[in-house]
């Protein structure tokens, strides 16, 4: 799979996919042909996006949490 090099290089480069084309938002570290792994990040169908969850949490402000209430708060965050 990888060239006969002593070590493999793993670098993450952010990009976006419009349904047809994958576009990198920054230059790739490789200057010659290379194998890549593409990972799609985003919510699964029916799940809120990470951004929506973060915005919801940040909008609440600081709270005091009783240890017995943590389970309820986790369940609430899943809705």
Mean pLDDT of each 10-residue bin along the chain, 79 residues long: 55 85 87 84 72 78 69 72
Instruction: Please give the pLDDT value at position 30.
Output: 79
The answer to the question of residue 65 being in a domain is: yes
Please, are residues 28 and 8 in contact by the beta-carbon 8 Å criterion?
no
Instruction: Please give the pLDDT value at position 6.
Output: 46
The answer to the question of residue 40 being in a domain is: yes
The answer to the question of residue 7 being in a domain is: no
The answer to the question of residue 2 being in a domain is: no
Print the domain residue range for 30: 15-77
The answer to the question of residue 19 being in a domain is: yes
Residue partners of 13: CB distance under 8 A and separation at least 6: 24, 25, 26, 28, 29
Instruction: Please give the pLDDT value at position 64.
Output: 67
Helix 70-77, helix 50-60: angle, nearest 10: 130
């Amino acid at each position: 799979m990888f060239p006969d090099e002593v070590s493999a290089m793993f670098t993450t480069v952010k990009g976006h996919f419009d349904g047809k084309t994958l576009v990198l938002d920054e230059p790739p570290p490789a200057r010659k042909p290379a194998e890549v792994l593409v990972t799609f990040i985003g919510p699964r169908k029916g799940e809120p996006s990470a951004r929506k969850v973060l915005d919801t949490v940040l909008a609440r402000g600081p709270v005091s949490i009783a240890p017995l209430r943590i389970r309820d708060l986790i369940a609430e965050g899943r809705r």
